[in-house]
Amino acid sequence: MTSTLKISGLAYAYPDGYQALFGVDLDIQRGERVALLGPNGAGKTTLVLHLNGILAGGVGSVEVAGLTVEKENFQEIRRRVGIVFQDPDDQLFMPTVHDDIAFGPANMGVTGDELEARVSEALDLVGMAEFSDRPPHHLSFGQRRRVAVATVLAMRPEILVLDEPSSNLDPASRRELADILRGLDITMLMVTHDLPYALELCPRAVILSGGVIVADGVTRDIMMDDVLMKENRLELPYGFDPRNVPA
């Protein structure tokens, strides 16, 4: 198996002295789907922002498909690591859906037929082809999140990082997005508090707590470990039993 993401000894303190990460080691193989779980303040966002160099200057190393995350590699790293932020409006700022999806590849020098092919491919992957000419602000929240995913997929990344992908979605939109994500042939790291969503989409889960990884294993096994869950302030919805979810 080939590592898509390899994090070694990653430690990071913010300028005010607050230490968010204390030596994180994580290895994700190509094609894996991994849920990153943990309480608020565990360091999950800090970790994600190291994956494409938004945060840097800590101790340790991050490699994406064999390429070290460092300044001279940032352009290529940011193509390889596609981050879909929690609020789609942080990623959608162009007049039309088409223009938003084309923006990233065009910035990388993709033009003409190749650019149009990428836009069409990304729209098809998220089921939004008929909305290409619509202004993003005319779409529903769930549709905007799907377009935000498409803006990242158009870059053809090595790894798709999703920050709370199910948040603020109604049940139908939540289901539609799950179907889309399940159909993607891509390595995925999903940061979420939505434990049923993590169980449904990610066979493997990692718990980050207090800036260190405290568990790494089969998602269902982790969620059935009552002591581990309680120690890390993770709670399943009332009445939800992981054993009842098909593997």
* Identity of residue 144: R
Predicted local confidence at residue 247, as pLDDT? 65
Backbone angles phi, psi at 34, to 5 degrees: -125, 130
Residue 55 counted as domain residue: no
* Identity of residue 120: S
Predicted local confidence at residue 153, as pLDDT? 97
Q: What's the mean pLDDT in 110-139?
A: 96
Scored b (16 or more CB within 10 A) or e, 107-126 reads eeebeeeebeebbeebbebb
**Residue 220 belongs to domain spanning:** 33-46+75-235
pLDDT digits (tens, 9 = 90+) for 137-182: 999 999 999 999 999 999 999 999 999 999 999 999 999 999 999 9
Q: Which residue has the tokens 């169980």?
A: 199
Distance of alpha carbon 140 from alpha carbon 170, whole angstroms: 11
User: What are residue 64's DSSP bridge partners?
Assistant: 5, 67
pLDDT above 90 (res 246): no
Could you tell me whether strands 3-13 and 67-68 are parallel, antiparallel, or unpaired per DSSP bridges?
A: unpaired
Span between the terminal Cα atoms of the chain, in Å:
22
Residue 14 counted as domain residue: no
pLDDT digits (tens, 9 = 90+) for 72-94: 998 899 889 999 999 999 999 99
User: In which band, very low, low, confident or very high, does the pLDDT at 1 lie, cut at 50, 70 and 90?
Assistant: low
Q: How far is CA 31 from CA 86, 122, 160, 182, 217, in A?
A: 23, 18, 10, 12, 16
- Please tell me the total count of domains within the chain: 1
* Identity of residue 5: L
Joined together, the tokens standing for residue 26 give 């994580």
Q: What's the mean pLDDT in 31-60?
A: 92
Residue 240 counted as domain residue: no
pLDDT above 70 (res 219): yes
Residue 22 counted as domain residue: no
Residue 241 counted as domain residue: no
Residue 131 counted as domain residue: yes
What SS3 state is found at 183? helix
CB 79, CB 109: distance < 8 Å: no
Mean of all residue pLDDT scores within the chain: 93
Q: Which domain CATH number covers 208? A: 3.40.50.300
Residue 18 counted as domain residue: no
**pTM (two decimals):** 0.94
Distance of alpha carbon 52 from alpha carbon 68, whole angstroms: 10
pLDDT digits (tens, 9 = 90+) for 172-187: 999 999 999 999 999 9
Residue 24 counted as domain residue: no
